[in-house]
Chains A and B, each alone.
Chain A
Amino acid sequence: MAANGSGGGGSDRQRVAQQRLRIIAGHLRRPADDDSDVRAAECKAPQSESDASAEGKTVPRRRQEIMKWNGWGYNDTRFLFNKKGQTEFTGKRYRLSGMILPGLQDWFENTFGASVHHKSPATTILNSSAVQPPTLNEAFVEELKSTGVPFSHDAEDRVFRANGHCLHEIFPLREGKIGRVPDTVVWPNCHNDVVKIVELACKHNVCLIPFGGGTSVSSALECPPEETRSIVSLDTSQMNRILWIDEKNLTAHVEAGIIGQDLERLLNESGYCTGHEPDSMEFSSLGGWVATRASGMKKNIYGNIEDLVVHLKMVTPQGVIEKSCQGPRMSTGPDIHHFILGSEGTLGVVTEVTMKIRPVPEYQKYGSVVFPDFEQGVACLREVARQRCAPASIRLMDNKQFQFGHALKPQVSSIFTSFLDGLKKFYITKFKGFDPNRLCVATLLFEGDREKVLQHEKQVYDIAAKFGGLAAGEDNGQRGYMLTFVIAYLRDLGLDYYVIAESFETSVPWDRVLDVCRNVKARIVRECKEKGVQFSPLSTCRVTQTYDAGACVYFYFAFNYRGLSDPIHVFEQVEHAAREEILANGGSLSHHHGVGKLRKQWMRDTVSNVGIGMLKSVKDYLDPNNIFGNRNLY
């Protein structure tokens, strides 16, 4: 079979088959999309500015129409402290939108020693004159024009593609400081556009930096300061179609620029989902997931991105790389997909991905368990992993994070609910003797058919009971997951009041989980003290994923920076120390955020000299002139 597939006839047959599948897929869609999907085989014609919204796609070419330039997420959505001492979440997009959070301000002021009277507001207007004029490669621009692929030198467009969401990227933007930005932004509409752009870039020696959803937290999007060539940001956001769905094999062929929420929504319309839900899924793109080896919250059922990918297409300076068939597993030497997965834009642009899909689950149920302390919680997660019965998602928040989550409780409308809450609290702390300053909470998400979910739920709660865990309701669970979507908005709120914050993650063998959590948190506290931070920091963690041999641990840390002359420098030192601590304790350099430029100093130790040599030799073959010059990874 494999031999047949590689013949010329095979690929012809394949193309015909694909064409047919595309048409079938088109029929499955709602009528409005028919048109665009049928002509999906070819490139879309250049479209109007507002194309995205017309098609039900979220991200327009001009991101500034809907998104913040110096903060997280949508323009219309933010937290603010109102005059009544309450917190509001504006907009209409989230479950929490428009709600009042009575507890947040107190928590905020008490945790950070901050005050609503000490404001550090951000610059609101993006001043185009602060942006350096573009360095253009005229010949490249001329030829690019002739291809008809849309591009721009507009200052705003360029600024939007110059950063991810690391604190040290956002903080200067809030002060109106803009560093090196790409000189050109180009929006290919399809694979062939990308091929043309990459050819031109090679021909004229310009630097290409692929841009997907812009949610990087590894400095991967930063323009290398040492780059002297013209930098072109290749924004894949307009390559956002589902090209076909194959219900026999349960796969979908998708353009890599599609963002998570669109992919899920569109698939849902056909009754499917990928189940890949990284916390950033509102904005992050399929190509970005592939390029960073992303992980989704529900990986226990659906797998991580490397498990979901069936076929990949990447445009490199040497040409297009892809496999000849879609066999579910192959023994054909080292898997070339694994050169692409995690390549972080250093080798080429991922243009199309065939992904596994699943029917949308019949039933979903949140849940939560309270444990007397973090140690018991970790022991429970370990047991769940040992028995391989982890729900779609299981996460364990430490005490600090539990309290944080609690502060996000919306105003309760009825006296009855607040009475119930009080009763629950009384039961857990007084009757069961849990120490409110030690207890911690696991949040759960079950998925599947109703009966199995209920059965599964019982199994997990039974295990939890062995570790002193008490079921604590769906509400707590759901709120725990909500926290992950709004946390980035919360950071912006903190930044308005002298509080800087960041998150980072690692993966670690089971026997090390507690040690890593304890030591990294303590290291953050100690480093802050030593570096002159005047207020005690928030240093908290949660275990977010379980594996057979270990877990993924996620840290949040934040502090009030009043009194520091160079808060970002202090911050970077603390973050650096925290990563050193992780590595010293047997944690990995990254579980799913990637290396980018932020963590590349540790790559050599992580993968050994020979490992670096292997990676570099691939780079040297594929891209000898460093066209994909974002200088991530090594």
Chain B
Amino acid sequence: MASTSGYSHRDPMLKKRDEFEDLLEERRNSSDLRYAFRSYSPVLYKELSPCTASSLKNMVLQSDQLRFVISQVCLETGRAVDDIQEEASAILEEMAHNLQLSTVRFFAFTLCKVFKTLFRSICVNEEGIQRLQQAIQEHPVVLLPSHRSYMDFLLMSYIMYTYDVALPVIAAGMDFMGMKFVGEMLRMSGAFFIRRSFGADKLYWAIFSEYVKTMVKNGFAPVEFFLEGTRSRTSKSLTPKLGLLNIVMDPFFKGEVFDLNLVPVSISYERILEESLYARELLGVPKPKESTSGLIKARKVLSEDYGSIHVYFGEPVSVRSLAQGKIDRSQFNLLPRHIPRRPSEEISNLVNDSAYRLVRAQEENMVLKPWVLLASLLLQSHHQNQATALEELTEQAVWLRDLSRQYGAFLHWPDHVPPSEVVSSSLSLHRGLVTISEGRVQLALEQAEQSGPGEPPRAATPEEELLSQAVTILSCASYRNQALHIFLRPALLASAVHAASSNNKQEVFNSFSFLRNMLSNEFILCPGATVQDFEDACFLLVKTGALQVSQQEVVVTERGHRTLAFLTSVLDPFLQGYQVVCRFLCEEATEDLTEKQFVPAVRKFILKLLLAGQLRYTEVLSSDLQKNSLAALLRLGAVRKIKGECLVLKVTSMFLLQSGAGNSKGQQGDGELIGRHSRRETSDSESRRRSPVTQRPR
């Protein structure tokens, strides 16, 4: 039971964080060339037996694991061993990095130039770097940066080079390899390439996992990959992919390394380069064609101001301590360790829990700029169809600043500057997204990007107009999303209080648990931590005086209404999105709807409703939200997949969801639904393990 549990509250405000140092400052004052040719002598893993990138390949090809799999494939397919071996070395050729310091120096030089024009500063917590140095020396290290931009991986290597830290090798998707020259350059700067999907290809899997493991065991270099699997187009952290994490943790479980340090790294951009690209992608609007004009536009990118980047190297997490008391490593005693087998349940659970923990750690150390708060406020007032006076916006921002700090936000708000200046400078950096007229601020929805200065404005259809507005709104939402992890738990509680039929604590908890479960594909919510999250949310709302929580009741205080109103409207767009997806499935979906058709169909449906003025939130057009809601419904069993295709079953509970979650109190059947779904809570980890990288060959 929620109220009686003994969780201790860690006041998020008390979390200690390091200071930052600007890395570009020195670059602006001294020679880039000398910097690129400076002596580089990183601290290495103490048990490293030095080897070259090519001898690494040999180690992999001669490994017991690969030899075993090759002989297996040989038996299964009847192909000749030589043949398979050749294929194996071809795969490895395609995959392997070819890390060379000279290339890194070249990049260092070029990036200096680029970074200095694009960004005001690149801030790094030096203490984090020192911790990393220490960790690299002690045990093999895995770097886990957040992924918001193509820049991330070059930026990471750049920082490592600058601080004399061992250069990482980076798992990258094959899509880069399309660009032949760039691909090879990246390869030489430490990237190794993995096919996006290789399904049940045993051989590929074996080579890939052995390659990564060899680098981990040997301590060749820090292995870097993105837990989120791909760039987040929404700035929300993505549900972690477990494949690579499984692979890097495996040598610990098998006793091949004493320990392993996982280092979460949070990279936050004040302005994301791919801002409107992402929005278009989410809306399914085709990118502007690549052309000379495109190139000119790309140059325009270089001339713009993208503010600053903050990179925070988190506390290294020891795999040994994660596993302590949870994993019995002797489970590998009776089978040769090179024979591949499915991870046991306890290992799968641990890897899953660890992945969530690490993504949470990334979130917690993300630096938030004032603009993030402004974006949240502006979006909310946009939906109330009002432009906010600048002073009012400033007042609200200060209020939200204080609130978010109390919730533990890592907010970079310059306290020595008057708030009005902070607000106006933030707005000016993002002038593409906001307009200020007559002292009132609102989202810049009127911009017509297609029309160049020379061309006459052509008449846009209502649909086109809507989509162009949506680009701005989704761009803006991506900034708001950066702060979502701060408000998420309190917001779930606020919405639960709002939706529950009474003040009864158990009912509020049930409602909370339902919402949380429903939205756990949308946000990073650690599996099995419902009670903890509920208690944390209560703690924060009580601490800030918005709620009173007793043994039996949860009551909103007089001064709490403003907070709760803000919090509920944070979640509202998402709830409406889920609702509308349900509506689509119930009203429109045909018997033979495939998964591929789903997004276009639901988009069409939503567009229709939006144009008819039946929906408030334009951001429900986001394909990310639509996919997440489908995943949630699949997980909850409201929708079923048949033979890989998406077949919709109209389950009664979906009607209940529609009537229950959106409207406020007292809906009949609401409680029943909540009850039913909260019991399913435990099974939700399963669906998360479905990614090409995660899926082991059967």
Interface residues in chain A, defined as those with a beta carbon under 8 Å from any beta carbon in chain B:
373, 375, 511-512, 515-516, 518-519, 522-523, 583-586, 605
Contacts and interface: CB of A to CB of B under 8 A. Distances in A.
A511 B333 CA distance: 11
Contact of A585 (B47, B49, B329): B329
A511 B336 contact: yes
A522 B47 CA distance: 12
14 contacts: A373-B49, A375-B49, A512-B255, A515-B255, A518-B258, A519-B258, A522-B259, A584-B329, A584-B330, A585-B255, A585-B329, A586-B255, A586-B332, A605-B330
B49 A586 contact: no
A87 to B, nearest CB: 31
Interface string B316-339: 000000000000111011001100
B256 interface: yes
Interface in B461-483: none
Nearest to A520: B258
B651 to A, nearest CB: 46
A391 to B, nearest CB: 28
Contact of B258 (A512, A523, A583): A523
Nearest to B217: A515
Contact of B255 (A373, A375, A519): A519
B155 to A, nearest CB: 33
Interface residues of B, number: 13
Contacts of A584: 255, 328-330
A371 B689 CA distance: 46
Q: Which among B256, B258, B259, B328 has the highest number of chain A CB atoms within 10 Å? A: B258
Given A523-B258, A584-B330, A585-B255, 5 more contacts: A373-B49, A522-B258, A583-B330, A584-B329, A586-B333
Nearest to A512: B255
Max count, chain A CB within 10 A of own CB: residue among B255, B256, B329, B337: B255
Contacts of B329: 584-585
A511 B47 CA distance: 18
Interface string B45-59: 001010000000000
B135 to A, nearest CB: 14
Please name the 9 residue pairs, one residue from A and one from B, whose CB atoms are nearest each other, closest first: A584-B329, A522-B258, A585-B255, A586-B333, A515-B255, A519-B258, A584-B330, A583-B330, A519-B255
Contacts of B255: 512, 515-516, 519, 584-586
Nearest to B328: A584
A515 B47 CA distance: 13
A586 B328 CA distance: 11
Nearest to B258: A522
Contacts of B332: 586
A519 B332 CA distance: 15
Nearest to B256: A515
A324 to B, nearest CB: 38
Interface string B329-366: 11011001100000000000000000000000000000
Contacts of A515: 255-256
Contacts of A519: 255, 258
B479 to A, nearest CB: 43
Nearest to B253: A584
A471 B258 CA distance: 32
Interface string B247-279: 000000001101100000000000000000000
A373 B336 CA distance: 25
B445 to A, nearest CB: 59
A586 B258 contact: no
Nearest to B332: A586
Contacts of B337: 511
B322 to A, nearest CB: 15
Contacts of A605: 330
Contacts of B328: 584
A519 B260 CA distance: 12
A121 B665 CA distance: 79
A586 B334 CA distance: 8
Interface string B648-681: 0000000000000000000000000000000000
Contact of B330 (A373, A516, A523, A586): A586
B330 to A, nearest CB: 5
Nearest to A519: B258
B16 to A, nearest CB: 22
Contacts of B49: 373, 375
B71 to A, nearest CB: 18
Contacts of A585: 255, 329
Nearest to B318: A526
A375 B332 CA distance: 22
B340 to A, nearest CB: 16
Contacts of B330: 583-584, 586, 605
Contacts of A518: 47, 258
A465 B52 CA distance: 24
Interface in B84-135: none
A515 B49 CA distance: 15
A379 to B, nearest CB: 12
Nearest to A515: B255
A321 B186 CA distance: 75
A393 to B, nearest CB: 28
A481 to B, nearest CB: 29
A212 to B, nearest CB: 33
A522 B255 CA distance: 12
Nearest to B251: A515
Contacts of A375: 49
B295 to A, nearest CB: 54
Contacts of B258: 518-519, 522-523
Nearest to B252: A519
A375 B47 CA distance: 11
Contacts of B336: 511
B31 to A, nearest CB: 37
Contacts of A586: 255, 330, 332-333
A607 B49 CA distance: 38
B47 to A, nearest CB: 8
Contacts of A373: 49
Contacts of A522: 258-259
A515 B259 CA distance: 12
B490 to A, nearest CB: 37
A633 B328 CA distance: 23
B551 to A, nearest CB: 39
B254 to A, nearest CB: 8
A94 to B, nearest CB: 37
Nearest to B337: A511
A555 B256 CA distance: 19
Interface string B22-64: 0000000000000000000000000101000000000000000
A289 B328 CA distance: 33
A512 B337 CA distance: 10
A373 B47 CA distance: 11
Nearest to A521: B258
Nearest to A375: B49
A471 B332 CA distance: 37
Interface in B138-196: none
Nearest to B64: A511
A55 B259 CA distance: 58
Interface centre among A519, A523, A583 (most CB of B within 10 A): A519
B219 to A, nearest CB: 12
Contacts of A523: 258
B144 to A, nearest CB: 23
Contacts of A511: 336-337
A522 B337 CA distance: 21
A519 B333 CA distance: 15
A511 B259 CA distance: 19
A557 to B, nearest CB: 15
A450 B336 CA distance: 41
A45 to B, nearest CB: 55
A516 B333 CA distance: 12
A518 B139 CA distance: 12
B318 to A, nearest CB: 10
Contacts of A516: 255
Nearest to B333: A586
